[in-house]
A = this chain, B = another copy of it.
Amino acid sequence: MPTREEIQTFLKAEFPHNHCIIDQVGGGSATIRHLIGPNELRPGGTVSGPLLMMVADVALYVALLGEIGIVPLAVTTSLNFNFLRKPSAEASIVGVCKLIKVGRSLAVGEVALYSEGSDAMVAHAVGTYAIPRRGQGPSA
């Protein structure tokens, strides 16, 4: 299975706009982080909702790549997102993903999002990825 560095290199090459940093991957889980600066903040000092959803989606993708290898064509099919608390404007967002099923064509995982340094979950997501079969595009 790919290492953390290999997945980070893949993300940088394929998704150059994406600035998530992988802290850990493997064993059906992943932890990633994203810096928060003016571009990620909204009026009132809140972190952009789409930024939170993107971090959840990437955490799930990274955990999955760590489990099935680097499969560029895996695509998100669903994301269920709960916003729980206002994140800090001054801390990175950390996403911790645990895969709960990796099947033949679908993988499901849950992601807890935190402001770095705090134990209070700011958002929670459950997402599903469609895994392509060999020689095919996404099967969904």
Interface size class of A (residues with CB under 8 A): 35 or more
A49 and B57 contacting across the interface, CB-CB below 8 Å: yes
Q: B residues within 8 A CB of A16?
A: 43
CA distance A50 to B52 in the complex (A): 9
Q: Does residue A96 face the partner (Cβ distance < 8 Å to B)?
A: no
Interface residues of A (CB under 8 A from B): 14-17, 42-43, 49-51, 53-54, 57, 75-85, 100-101, 103-106, 108, 110, 112, 121, 124, 126, 128, 130, 139-140
User: CA of A128 to CA of B108 in the docked complex: distance in angstroms?
Assistant: 13
Contacts of A76 in B (CB 8 A): 49, 83
Q: How far is the CB of A79 from chain B (nearest CB, A)?
A: 5
Say whether B105 contacts A139, CB under 8 Å.
yes
Q: Which of B53, B77, B100 contacts A50 (CB 8 A)?
A: B53
A9 CB, min distance to chain B CBs, angstroms: 15
